[in-house]
Amino acid sequence: MTASTDYAHSAQQLFDTVREATAEGRGVTRASYGAGESRALDLLTAFARKQGFAAHVDRAGNVTFSHPDDARTRPILCGSHMDSVPEGGNFDGLAGVIAGLLCLMRQRDEAQRGMHPLRVLALRGEESAWFGKAYIGSSALFGRLPPTTLDAQQRSTGETLAACMREAGADVEAIAAGEVLLDANGVAGYIELHIEQGALLDDAQRAVAIVPSIRGNVRYRNVRCIGEPGHSGAVPRERRHDAVFAAAHVVSALDTYWKRALAEGADLVITCGVFGTRAEQHAISRIPGEVDFSFEARSADPNVLAQVLDVFEHTLADTAASHGVRFETGALLQTAPAHMDAGWIGLLEQHAQTLNLPAPHVPSGAGHDAAMFAAAGIRSAMIFVRNQNGSHNPDEAMRLVDFMDGVALLYETINAFA
């Protein structure tokens, strides 16, 4: 086998091994700071050490892989996250970490280290599905994890984030105190390879893309509409305090605003991914007294995020008055939009051309850890790899040939970064 074939073979083995170890239902489940995520990290750690690389667990529980003989400072960090959504796809996050390991292998084999030492970062807790907070591992590195988040309960087990992080070896006391665990000034740059989580590249028949920006978001993890239960046949409309109709009115108003905002040229997506009455109170003849739902808006424009949040909160107030209900929102979660570094983008464009890889610019609608590194002042970049079936689902796909094209672009760009 050629060297490039060896790398592809190693990548396929790692993807298959981690999938098998974390399979659940039709997909994979690697809960943030949970058992599946830890199993995946253990497998990559065993592989890295067999290859002769060092593995280090940081104070946020993330794992860094590196050349053991490279003690230079000001590293390039390359990586992604290890967790998944429940019964999600195998490549979301994992592809970026395996890509970094392949770059370490090729640097070793070709005795080519670049101007900066390479550190491959396997981050924990990027997905918000488990604790309602995204970027947990990367936020903790920069002292930006809100202390209240440590009390958040895991969606399946009820364990607190603090307990799960402590089990993973994290320094929970330092994180709660907002201690900075990674000095941004000591990092030369951060670059992340990730599958595209939409279908733009597949539609365009392009293997890779350069990401110029990442949307930010505003979120309420759990909004509760509280009305008054009653008999469906005995209470007339004017006397009802129907939580379902009230919550539906909010969603309908958001949809109307969204259409208008898009017509005016705004970059905006709105989602209510959780919506339901209490199962233990279900009855076809009962007026629902409570509804729980979530609210999320994403945009690359911070002004759009501020405006949609204002619209949402005013809609809640108006609906409470018109429908005789009240709303409880809990804590607001916010992540600012991020723009990738122009220097990185220029290098990516240059090496994509050298490799004869057409690489369009595709902004990211989904959030990524790269946004946290950019927010910390670290020069950051992202590469997308084509994905055939969307993301956050068991059918998520990525052709190995496309992945290896992405790895080639990543490798050449890292070694040229100054």
Residues 371 and 299 in one domain: no
Residues 224 and 263 in one domain: yes
**Beta carbons of 152 and 53 less than 8 angstroms apart:** no
Residues 58 and 150 in one domain: yes
- Taking CA atoms, 363 is separated from 71, 338, 391, 417, in Å, by 35, 10, 16, 22
Q: How far apart are CA 217 and CA 367, in angstroms?
A: 8
Length, in residues, of the chain:
418
What is the domain-level CATH number for residue 299? 3.30.70.360
Q: How far apart are CA 226 and CA 242, in angstroms?
A: 8
* Alpha helical stretches, state H, 292-341: 302-323
Residues 314 and 365 in one domain: no
Q: How far apart are CA 152 and CA 308, in angstroms?
A: 26
Residues 228 and 302 in one domain: yes
**Beta carbons of 82 and 30 less than 8 angstroms apart:** yes
What is the domain-level CATH number for residue 101? 3.40.630.10
- How many helices, marked H, and strands, marked E, lie in the chain? 12, 19
Q: Of 316, 335, 354, which residue sits at a domain end? A: 335
Closest CA to 360 of 195, 213, 209: 209
Residues 192 and 274 in one domain: no
pLDDT value of residue 1: 38
Residue with tokens 């907002």: 178
Domain with 263, as residue range(s), is: 217-335
Rounded CA Rg of the chain = 23
| CB count in 10 Å sphere of residue 156 | 11
**Beta carbons of 37 and 83 less than 8 angstroms apart:** yes
Q: What amino acid occupies position 178?
A: G
Q: How far apart are CA 360 and CA 105, in angstroms?
A: 28
Residues 65 and 25 in one domain: yes
Residues 149 and 263 in one domain: no
Q: State how far Cα 231 lies from the chain centre.
A: 43
Residues 261 and 316 in one domain: yes
pLDDT value of residue 224: 98
What is the tally of structural domains in the chain?
A: 2
Residues 393 and 318 in one domain: no
Residues 323 and 347 in one domain: no
Q: What is the reported pTM?
A: 0.87
Closest CA to 380 of 417, 339, 409: 339
Q: Of 335, 360, 394, which residue sits at a domain end? A: 335
Q: How far apart are CA 127 and CA 372, in angstroms?
A: 13
Residues 61 and 197 in one domain: yes
pLDDT value of residue 3: 66
Q: Of 304, 335, 366, which residue sits at a domain end? A: 335
- Taking CA atoms, 114 is separated from 6, 98, 103, 111, 374, in Å, by 22, 19, 11, 10, 22
**Per-residue pLDDT for the chain (418 aa), expressed as one digit of tens each?**
356 779 999 999 999 999 999 999 999 999 999 999 999 999 999 999 999 999 999 999 999 999 999 999 999 999 999 999 999 999 999 999 999 999 999 999 999 989 999 999 999 999 999 998 999 999 999 999 999 999 999 999 999 999 999 999 999 999 999 999 999 999 999 999 999 999 999 999 999 999 999 999 999 989 999 999 999 999 999 999 999 999 999 999 999 999 999 999 999 999 999 999 988 888 999 999 999 999 999 999 999 999 999 999 999 999 999 999 999 999 898 888 999 999 999 999 999 999 999 999 999 999 999 999 999 999 999 999 999 888 999 999 999 999 999 999 999 999 999 9
